Structures are given as structure tokens and as C-alpha cells.
């Protein structure tokens, strides 16, 4: 139990595990950090310092950013402050008093000014000589902050806007007990071992080459195999659900993007080929599939009887991300989306939307990602209208429609302003990587605008020409990004059906090679991805290699196996359900096939 100090000056005992206490704890740690920085670097100007998931940070304006040695010094000073054992007190000041108090703190003055304009009360917390403008709550005393560590110093824009000055942010974490801190740090180390950007390279799933460029990974045979498996599987699933496949160009004329609005809204994000001033035609690589796939719809007149039309396409997309944004397989300049558009009547929207979600949920369950995903209802930002097309009433109408459908679906979602596509609201399925960074994996969107822009119509039963609704959806998201998530989810030990090598065949001595080749042939004929270790090494060494490669199964073959025409099967460690023991080649093939089929069918 920790003693908390509330803004009314009252105290109460709350366990650290309660989020209000945990936040107050980390927030107090942030104040201790700021106090230490002011002591060691008196010229530093204070920004803000909240608690965050798993820790805290504080922003400072300093001449030269903190070095690792600086962090050590600051940490030492923090320990001293904790030992000094100050109690915290909370008090209020008038605007004028506050301005006097923080005359040397320009960022605090800005906040005071702003709070004053809103007519909000100015609360302050004090520990020893250190006073901060702060809404609280905090711990009642600094001595409870026993275990902490400063993790990094990086740049961060004041108030989160790139128009403002970049301050120096120190990140740290803190716990009541040092054992908890150690455990947390160990978890961070553990997470790093699953990092797809490292593991994916080690397992030879992908690589990058300086001369090729940023955000342009080379998928190696094993990585490409996984993507191929996923793509075949997803395309089959889509076909089962009534999708028709299209194949459209990877680039088109600027005129096309002018219709869709990309030229006006996202030209900076596109790779443009040619110069509008001097060239007769200017092209751009496609950042999304929609305008191309719409041309398939426009191929002839459509009746309400034709709808819904569901188009899918495995599409390479190109987006000119800024140089600092690329990351492993997560953020790329070229990527492959299991893209698609459902064109339907207003009456059909609900069912089609729900069916699209149903497909995504099926896919996530099959991949084992279902429990790691959460849902974000991404709406527009009415205060930032230039980012979007269409009028506010339409936006409200579509968002309400989407909320209605979402509520019926029973999905547990949260709403986010300013995250919509420029043409409509989205349901984003979000996932976190091993470092806790969030990214969109899948998305389903309702679009009420592009049909009109492209002149897409259907003749309704009353003979009227009407604009259809369009659902933009992805069954899978982008293959590269999902692959990254899968690598981290399974730490490279893919389930059998996705493993690029399913069986590694290990001859005990070279004289068993011939039989091993036969086994490899049999497995391959049965559709099993088998690979043989042909090196002249001891069997223990070969097993170790196969373990490092995280291959689901090994088939060990020596004299006894050759004589009896069988294989000794061994599974990957930590897989108690897997096959093991000796069996005939035919039985092994059949068992593997069964296991593969069981895993995919839910």
C-alpha cells in the first residue's frame, strides 16, 4: 500500500496495482527526475512530465541534449532526492503568483496562460525546493519511489507538434520494489529477442540492401514462402465468400488521382513520375487500389441485381513515406495489401460490412492473432476539415451508420477522432509490436464519396440511377506487416502450416544420405516442405542447428531407420502436442497433412 496525496490535500492508502496509484507513482518519479535535472543542469527549462504505460517521461529544453553519462548523473541525483525523503504538498496559486513563481520557465508560463484563459484553477505540487505546475495526484512522499531507471533521452516536439521546438525527453520507469524493476527490464530484454526486424533477418526471412533503398525489403525464399502461403490461402477464402479477383496496373496518370482526390490530398505521399510543367503526361505509382478497381465496375452499366459486387486484389502499393518513418517490415515504401472493394446498395451495407469483419476475424483467429487485436473506430476531425473531402452532414451520417453497425456487431471498440481516411470513416484493427508500439493491421471502411466522384452508378428497381456505397476492406492487411506481427507472435517458431521449412531431415552419418533423399522426395510429393541437412557433422550439431532454425519437425535417420524404412521424428522444443517417435514415411506424411489441415480449418 502506498500513501497518495490528492489534489484536495487529503491522503489515502492505495495499492500500487491500482492504476490511479501506479500513475501517481510514476508521475512522482517524473517530478523527482525534473528536480534532479534542475539541480544538475540549472539552465534546463521544464516542459511536461506525465506517467505513461510502464513508466514516465519529462521534457526539458537544454542547450545540448543529454548524453548517457548525463543520465547516470541525473539518476544518482534522483537517488539522493529519494533518500532526502521529502513530503509532497499541494497548493493553489493565483495567475499572477504563478507567473512570478515560474518567471524563468517559458513553457510553464505558456501552460499557465492557457489554463488561465480556460478559467481553470492552477494546482501546484512541491517537494523540497522543487515546485511544479501539476494537476496531480501524487504520492505523499518521494521515499516510496524506491526502484527506478532512466531508459533513454530522445527528441520530442513541444506539445506534440512538429511546428514547435524540439525538446529533450528523458524516458524512465519506476516501481515500488527493485525486484519488480528487474523483472520489467528483463521483460524488455526478452521482447527484444522477438523483434521481427532482428529475428526475421536471423531466420533469413528478409534482408535489406543499402543500394536498393529505405523501406524496400528483399523477401528471401523463406519469407517469400510464408507470404505466398498466406496469399494463396486468403485469395481462396475470398473466392469462397463471393469475391472476384481483379488485376489492375501499379501506376496511372495524374488525371485518375485528380478524380479520386489523391492528387489534391496526398500528392506528397506518392511517387510521381514526370514533371507537370514539362511533360505531356504525368504518372504516379498507386498508393492504393481503389481508383483502379473502380474502373472494373465502370466497365458497363450496372443494375441493382448485380449488387453487391465484391472485388479483391493482391495489390502492391507505393507510398513515399518520410525518411524517418520506415521500420523493418512494419512501415515500408512498397508493400502488398490483400485489398478489395465491395460495391453495394444502401440496404446491403450493413450485411456486407459485417461479413467483411467476419472474414477478418476468421483470418485473425486462424493466424492466432485474434486475442492481440483491438478495434478502433476512426472518425474524422471536424476541426481539421481541409484533411477530408465531403460535407460535415455526410460525415456525421456515415459515422452514425457505422457506429450503428459496429454496435450490432458486438465488437468492443474505442473511438478516435482524426484517424479517418480522407474519404470516409474506418474500423481499424490495431496491434502492438514487441516494444508496445501500435499499428493498424486490418481496416474496413465505409465510403460515401468516391462513387460519386467516379460517376459510379447502378439502376435501381425504380429505374433511377443511384450511387452505390463502397466498402474498402482488407482481408489481411498488408502481408509484410502481418508477417512482422507473426514473427513476433511466434518468436519465429511458426505453426506447422506456415513454417517455411516444416521438416528438417538429419542423417546421422553420411551413409544415410541416400535414404534421407528418398524421405525428402516422399515428403515433398505429399506436399510437405522438407529440407535436408547435408553437412558432414555430428548429429547433435545438426539437431542444434534445426532448433535454432525453429523448424517444427526433425526426421533423424540412422542405420535402424534405413533398415526398417522408417523415420525417427522429433518435434521443436516447447511443442508437447507435436508428433514424436518412430513411424513409417507414409504415416509421417499423413500425420503432418492432418496437422496442417486441422490448424487452418476452424
- Stretches 296-304, 326-334, 395-403, 516-524: which one binds RNA (CB under 7 A)? 326-334
- Could you say which of 116, 156, 411, 491 contacts RNA (CB under 7 A)? 156
Question: Which grid coordinates belong to 270?
Answer: 506518392
* Residue 80 touching RNA (CB under 7 A): no
Q: Does 364 engage in binding with RNA (CB under 7 A)?
A: no
Cβ-based neighbours of 375, under 8 Å, separated by 6 or more: 406, 411, 412, 413, 414, 427, 428, 429, 430
The CB-of-192 to RNA minimum distance in angstroms stands at 9
Cβ proximity to RNA: between 142 and 150 the closer is 150
Least distance (Å) between residue 509 CB and RNA: 4
**DSSP letter (8 states) at residue 461:** T
Number of residues that bind RNA (CB under 7 A): 70
Torsion of CA 584, 585, 586, 587, to 10 degrees: 50
Beta-carbon neighbour count of residue 206 at 10 Å? 23
Nearest residue to 86 (alpha-carbon basis) of 19, 27, 131, 152:
131
Q: Which residues contact 222 (CB under 8 A, 6 or more apart)?
A: 203, 204, 205, 500, 501
Among 13, 245, 298, 548, binds RNA (CB under 7 A): 548
- How many whole angstroms separate alpha carbon 457 and alpha carbon 424? 19
416 vs 339: CA distance, rounded Å: 23
E strand map for 461-529: 465-466, 469-473, 503-507
Within positions 482 to 511, which residues make up the interface with RNA, using CB under 7 A?
508-510
In the bound complex, what is the minimum distance in angstroms from residue 444's beta carbon to RNA?
A: 11
Strand bridging mode 553-557 / 469-473: unpaired
Q: Given the complex with RNA, which of 232 and 573 has the nearer CB atom?
A: 573
Q: How far apart are CA 487 and CA 428, in angstroms?
A: 21
Work out whether 258 is an interface residue with RNA (CB under 7 A).
Answer: no
Which residue of 155, 221, 346, 527 would you call a contact of RNA, by CB under 7 A? Answer: 155
Judged by CB under 7 A, the stretch of 94-102, 390-398, 436-444, 452-460 that binds RNA is 436-444
Before 137, cis peptide (omega within 30)? yes
Could you say whether residue 392 binds RNA (CB under 7 A)? no
CA neighbor of 474 nearest in space, from 343, 311, 285? 311
Contact range with RNA by CB under 7 A, out of 173-181, 261-269, 341-349, 451-459: 261-269
Site for RNA in 160-179 (CB under 7 A): 160-162, 166, 168-169, 171
Neighbour tally for 32: CB within 10 Å: 29
> Contact between 561 and RNA (CB under 7 A)?
yes
Residue 221 engages RNA in binding (rule: CB under 7 A): no
| Residue 459 touching RNA (CB under 7 A) | no
Instruction: Choose, by CB under 7 A, the member of 38, 138, 331, 467 that binds RNA.
Output: 331
**By the criterion CB under 7 A, which residues form the site for RNA?**
65, 67, 152-157, 160-162, 166, 168-169, 171, 195, 197, 202, 208, 210, 213-215, 262, 266, 269-270, 287-288, 319-328, 331, 387, 419, 421-422, 435, 437, 439, 443, 508-510, 535-541, 543-544, 547-548, 556, 558-561, 568, 570, 573
Amino acid at each position: 500500500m502506498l500513501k497518495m496525496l490528492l489534489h484536495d490535500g487529503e491522503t489515502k492508502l492505495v495499492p500500487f496495482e491500482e492504476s490511479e496509484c501506479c500513475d501517481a507513482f510514476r508521475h512522482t518519479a517524473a517530478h523527482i527526475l525534473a528536480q534532479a535535472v534542475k539541480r544538475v543542469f540549472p539552465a534546463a527549462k521544464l516542459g511536461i512530465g506525465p506517467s505513461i504505460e510502464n513508466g514516465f517521461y519529462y521534457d526539458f529544453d537544454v542547450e545540448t541534449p543529454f548524453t548517457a553519462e548525463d543520465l547516470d548523473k541525473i539518476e544518482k541525483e534522483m537517488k539522493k532526492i529519494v533518500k532526502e525523503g521529502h513530503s509532497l504538498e499541494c497548493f493553489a496559486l493565483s495567475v499572477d503568483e504563478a507567473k512570478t513563481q515560474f518567471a524563468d520557465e517559458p513553457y510553464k508560463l505558456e501552460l499557465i496562460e492557457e489554463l488561465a484563459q480556460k478559467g481553470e484553477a492552477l494546482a501546484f505540487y512541491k517537494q523540497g525546493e522543487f515546485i511544479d505546475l501539476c494537476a496531480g495526484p501524487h504520492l505523499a512522499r518521494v521515499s516510496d519511489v524506491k526502484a527506478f531507471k532512466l531508459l533513454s533521452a530522445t527528441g520530442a516536439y513541444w506539445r506534440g507538434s512538429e511546428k514547435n521546438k524540439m525538446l529533450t525527453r528523458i524516458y524512465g520507469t519506476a516501481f515500488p520494489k527493485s525486484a519488480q524493476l528487474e523483472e520489467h527490464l528483463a521483460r524488455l530484454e526478452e521482447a527484444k529477442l522477438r523483434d521481427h526486424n532482428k529475428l526475421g533477418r536471423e531466420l533469413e526471412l528478409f534482408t535489406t540492401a543499402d543500394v536498393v533503398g529505405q523501406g524496400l525489403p528483399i523477401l528471401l525464399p523463406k519469407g517469400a514462402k510464408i507470404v505466398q502461403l498466406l496469399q494463396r490461402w486468403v485469395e481462396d477464402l475470398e473466392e469462397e465468400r463471393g469475391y472476384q479477383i481483379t488485376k489492375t496496373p501499379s501506376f496511372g496518370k495524374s488525371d485518375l488521382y485528380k478524380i479520386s482526390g489523391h492528387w489534391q490530398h496526398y500528392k506528397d505521399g506518392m511517387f510521381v513520375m514526370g514533371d507537370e510543367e514539362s511533360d505531356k503526361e504525368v504518372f504516379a505509382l498507386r498508393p492504393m487500389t481503389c481508383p483502379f478497381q473502380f474502373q472494373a465496375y465502370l466497365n458497363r452499366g450496372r443494375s441493382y441485381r448485380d449488387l453487391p459486387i465484391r472485388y479483391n486484389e493482391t495489390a502492391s502499393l507505393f507510398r513515399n513515406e518520410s525518411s524517418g518513418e520506415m521500420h523493418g517490415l512494419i512501415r515500408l515504401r512498397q508493400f502488398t495489401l490483400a485489398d478489395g472493394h465491395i460495391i453495394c446498395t444502401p440496404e446491403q451495407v450493413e450485411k456486407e460490412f459485417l461479413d467483411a469483419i467476419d472474414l477478418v476475424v476468421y483470418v485473425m483467429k486462424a493466424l492466432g492473432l485474434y486475442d492481440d487485436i483491438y478495434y478502433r473506430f476512426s472518425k474524422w476531425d471536424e476541426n481539421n476539415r481541409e484533411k477530408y473531402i465531403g460535407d460535415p452532414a455526410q460525415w456525421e451520417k456515415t459515422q452514425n451508420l457505422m457506429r450503428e453497425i459496429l454496435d450490432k456487431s458486438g465488437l468492443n471498440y474505442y473511438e478516435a477522432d482524426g484517424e479517418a481516411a480522407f474519404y470516409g470513416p474506418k474500423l481499424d484493427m490495431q496491434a502492438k509490436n514487441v516494444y508496445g508500439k501500435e499499428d493498424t493491421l486490418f481496416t474496413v471502411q465505409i465510403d460515401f464519396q468516391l462513387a460519386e466522384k467516379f460517376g459510379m452508378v447502378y439502376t435501381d428497381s425504380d429505374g433511377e440511377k443511384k450511387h452505390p456505397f463502397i466498402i474498402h476492406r482488407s482481408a489481411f492487411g498488408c502481408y509484410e506487416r502481418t508477417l512482422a506481427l507473426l514473427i513476433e507472435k511466434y518468436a519465429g517458431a511458426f505453426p506447422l502450416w506456415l513454417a517455411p521449412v516444416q521438416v528438417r531431415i538429419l542423417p546421422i552419418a553420411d551413409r544415410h544420405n541416400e535414404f534421407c533423399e528418398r524421405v525428402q522426395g516422399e515428403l515433398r510429393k505429399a506436399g510437405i516442405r522438407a529440407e535436408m541437412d547435408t553437412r558432414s557433422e555430428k548429429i547433435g550439431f545438426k539437431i542444434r542447428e534445426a532448433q535454432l532454425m525453429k523448424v517444427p519437425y526433425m526426421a533423424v535417420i540412422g542405420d535402424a531407420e534405413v533398415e526398417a524404412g522408417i523415420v525417427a521424428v522429433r518435434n521443436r522444443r516447447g511443442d508437447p502436442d507435436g508428433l514424436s517417435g518412430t513411424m513409417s514415411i507414409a504415416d509421417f506424411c499423413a500425420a503432418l497433412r492432418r496437422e496442417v489441415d486441422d490448424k487452418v480449418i476452424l
